[in-house]
Amino acid sequence: MFEMDSRLQQDSLVLGDFGLCRLLLSKDANYPWFILVPRRAGVSELFDLSADDQAQLWKETTLLAEVLKGEFEADKINVATLGNVVKQMHMHVIVRHQSDAAWPAPVWGKVPAVEYAAGEVEAIRKRLRGLLGNGYQEA
């Protein structure tokens, strides 16, 4: 049975569900930092997913990346699945700007997380509304 890792639960907010993945927002206002988590049990590496699920993860990742690039006028989208600490497969999709706190370094461990102010998360939800396709259901 699919269950979200406790560390992911603690460090992020649920935005909604794609066909395969739960869409999370990292609790770090330094960057619009999204995380896709396949709703499958016992998956750590990409190749632990079935071929169909792999293809779907790729689709959801690429769709999200493209939407974020446009909506947030990203200078670059960073896409990564690391999992050295949290073993449950999760795909980071992060909007990067040349003006952000870690640029051009990767975001992990670079600067302390900044809390979202009241209303900012809701504003992000609103910005994404209608952009993520028919396969997406907002939470």
| CA distance linking residue 7 with residue 123, whole number of Å | 24
| CA distance linking residue 136 with residue 130, whole number of Å | 9
Is residue 80 at the binding interface for a copy of itself, with CB under 8 A as the rule?
A: yes
Is residue 105 at the binding interface for a copy of itself, with CB under 8 A as the rule?
A: yes
State which residue, 80 or 111, has the beta carbon closest to a copy of itself: 80
Query: To the nearest 10°, the Cα dihedral for 80, 14, 119, 106?
Result: -10
Q: Of 2-10, 101-109, 117-125, 130-138, which part binds a copy of itself (CB under 8 A)?
A: 101-109
Is residue 108 at the binding interface for a copy of itself, with CB under 8 A as the rule?
A: yes
Query: How are strands ordered across the β-sheet holding 21-26?
Result: 91-96, 33-38, 21-26, 12-17, 137-138
| CA distance linking residue 107 with residue 79, whole number of Å | 11
Q: Of 10-18, 19-27, 29-37, 39-47, which part binds a copy of itself (CB under 8 A)?
A: 39-47
* Residues at the site binding a copy of itself, with contacts judged by CB under 8 A: 44-47, 54-55, 58, 61-62, 65-66, 69, 75-85, 87, 96, 103-106, 108-109
